Amino acid sequence: MNAKRSSPVHAQLAALQPHWEERRDMRIAASIAGDDATKLDAVALADLSFLPRFGLKGPAAEQWLQSQNIAPPAKANSWAPLSGAGVIARLGRSEFFLEDGAATDTVDAISTSLGTGAAGVYPVIRQDAGFALAGARVNELLVQTCNVNFAQFGPQDRIAVMTQMIGVSVLAIRTDYKQMPCYRIWCDPTFAAYFWETVAEIAGELGGGVVGAHSLSG
């Protein structure tokens, strides 16, 4: 494999001796030994940093997205689905975060169309580490790591929460996966290894653990 990109938690994944694949120019831990179903009965943690993401902001950002046939969420700090399991989140009044699903190219199309910017619209480079946390006991983990009561938000609320988990600033949304409670979490890649190792340890204490990207990305 000659992947052009590397996950911020590549070293942590390599220690688990996963089955590797290349997706979106990144070497990903597609699957990991162990019983995924057992982990999902507790808490499963997956690295989805390979999914393309992009940001934009500015007073004309909402109108520009609409001109690209993308309907941004109307409320600040909320999110909406994109085709193919992608997401768009509105961060405040005029900043937006987009991430593709496993098999869509919306982000590439948007970033190419915007280029270096348009009138009242400015690109925001997003190099976040992207993770998924899912399982029957996931809210127990969140209670231990964050002061936001995520259990109060259902998937239908589509709330985008900017908060801290274990001292790391994160963006988190609930996007249930195959009828399981599931949260997508993004953080600065600088803190990704610490975040991953700490959350993986807590997941293990709850009876879960790390799963491959395929387990939580379709």
Domain of residue 202, CATH code: 3.30.1360.120
Structure tokens at 199: 């959350």
Extract the residue ranges of the chain whose pLDDT is less than 70. 1-3, 218
- Tell me: do 143 and 98 sit in the same domain: no
CA-closest candidate to residue 75, choices 56, 94, 60 = 94
- Spatial CB neighbours of 214, under 8 Å, sequence gap ≥ 6: 30, 31
- Spatial CB neighbours of 150, under 8 Å, sequence gap ≥ 6: 139, 142, 161, 172, 174, 183
- pLDDT, residue 31, reads 94
Residue 4 in any domain: the answer is no
Q: What pairs with residue 210 in β-bridges?
A: 45
- Tell me: do 137 and 205 sit in the same domain: yes
Pick from 105, 124, 143: which residue ends a domain? 124
The answer to whether 94 touches 57, Cβ cutoff 8 Å, is: yes
- pLDDT, residue 1, reads 59
- Tell me: do 171 and 187 sit in the same domain: yes
Residue 1 in any domain: the answer is no
- pLDDT, residue 187, reads 98
**167 CB burial (10 A radius; 0-12, 13-18, 19+):** exposed
- Tell me: do 102 and 63 sit in the same domain: yes
- pLDDT, residue 85, reads 84
Q: Which stretches of 34-105 are DSSP H helices?
A: 36-40, 61-67
Pick from 76, 106, 124: which residue ends a domain? 124
Domain of residue 93, CATH code: 3.30.70
CA-closest candidate to residue 87, choices 139, 51, 120, 117 = 51
- Tell me: do 25 and 115 sit in the same domain: no
- pLDDT, residue 102, reads 84
- Tell me: do 190 and 103 sit in the same domain: no
- pLDDT, residue 218, reads 62
- pLDDT, residue 115, reads 85
- Tell me: do 133 and 145 sit in the same domain: yes
Domain count, the chain: 2
- pLDDT, residue 4, reads 80
Pick from 124, 148, 163: which residue ends a domain? 124
Torsion of CA 166, 167, 168, 171, to 10 degrees: 80
Cα–Cα distance for residue pair 90/55, rounded to 1 Å: 10
Range of the domain at 118: 53-124
